[in-house]
């Protein structure tokens, strides 16, 4: 019996990576729903601008949800798929009844900051496991989201 999975990674490393990816997946799912809620419920003078921007964000987040789940499957493991599990596993909390544009933007900013932190941890773990696929994915997300954090901070002044 081999101690490597179908893509040549050590089984133990792949299990650790899949566990960390499932935590990331849970955070993406909760964050996606938060941003979707901001899109639906934002009010105020920046409505049109923020409504469109939040749609851009949640569309990208939904793509990443799928990519993270597929990476877990590539590692030979099963992605978590129950929303109750997402809520219990995620550091990002559900954001309810937020309507103020600035509060919504602050929620988006905090969500991206949490994702970046989790992805940096994942990047370190993937690098140690010689998992270029996961490391590359995490690195790409970090690079993109760091720019978004900068832009959100600039928007907030």
Taking Cα atoms as reference points, which of 103, 100, 122, 99 lies closest to residue 28? 122
Mean pLDDT, 10 residues at a time, over the chain (157 residues)? 89 97 98 98 96 98 98 98 97 96 98 98 98 98 98 97
Say how many CA atoms lie within 13 Å of 134 toward its Cβ.
35
Q: What is the pLDDT of residue 1?
A: 58
Taking Cα atoms as reference points, which of 75, 80, 76 lies closest to residue 90? 80
Q: What is the pLDDT of residue 2?
A: 79
């Amino acid at each position: 019996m081999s101690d490597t999975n179908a893509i040549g990674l050590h089984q133990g490393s792949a299990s650790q990576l899949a566990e960390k990816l499932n935590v990331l997946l849970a955070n993406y799912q909760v964050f996606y729903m938060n941003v979707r809620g901001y899109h639906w419920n934002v009010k105020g003078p920046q409505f049109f601008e923020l409504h469109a921007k939040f749609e851009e964000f949640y569309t990208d987040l939904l793509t990443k949800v799928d990519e993270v789940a597929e990476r877990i499957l590539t590692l030979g493991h099963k992605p978590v798929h129950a929303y109750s599990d997402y809520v219990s596993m995620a550091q990002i909390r559900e954001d309810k009844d937020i309507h103020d544009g600035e509060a919504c933007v602050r929620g988006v900013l905090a969500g991206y900051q949490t994702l970046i932190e989790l992805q940096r941890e994942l990047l370190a773990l993937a690098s140690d496991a010689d998992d270029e696929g996961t490391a590359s994915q995490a690195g790409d997300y970090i690079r993109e989201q760091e720019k978004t954090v900068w832009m959100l901070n600039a928007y907030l002044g």
